[in-house]
Amino acid sequence: MTIQTIKTAAGETLVILPLDEYEALEDAVDAARHVTVMAKLARGESEALTSKEVRTLLAAPTPLAFWRRKRGFTQSALAKRAEISQSYLASLEAGKRKGDPALVKRLARALTLRMEDLVAD
């Protein structure tokens, strides 16, 4: 690897290397990330959606509605686990109401998700 170092006026050391070597490093990082993701999937530590599931998620009124169905819960069962009424859960799923962070956390825990998975962009 051909590198050159320079110092900025502020005293910071920078490394300069040829573009092709930089791109090779980027490729190596991408490959390492891919290996990590695939290992997590194989161990069941991460979850992947099929393209059909992604389309269904995007078409759902809220992520909560998609994930409840995907996990096989009825509204009543999930509402009971989250300690809310079924009608309140229905309004959350329809996007008519928003839950506070504590509720989103309970729902995420019940669905074995991260809170961020239940929040629409």
- Tell me the residue range of the domain where 82 lies: 51-118
| 33 and 70 together in one domain | no
Same domain, 37 and 70: no
Q: What is the pLDDT of residues 69-95, one digit of tens each?
A: 999 999 999 999 999 999 999 999 999
C-alpha to C-alpha distance for 56 and 20, rounded to whole angstroms: 41
Same domain, yes or no: 55 and 32:
no
pTM recorded for the entire structure: 0.69
Same domain, 55 and 37: no
35-54 residue pLDDT tens: 988 898 888 777 889 999 99
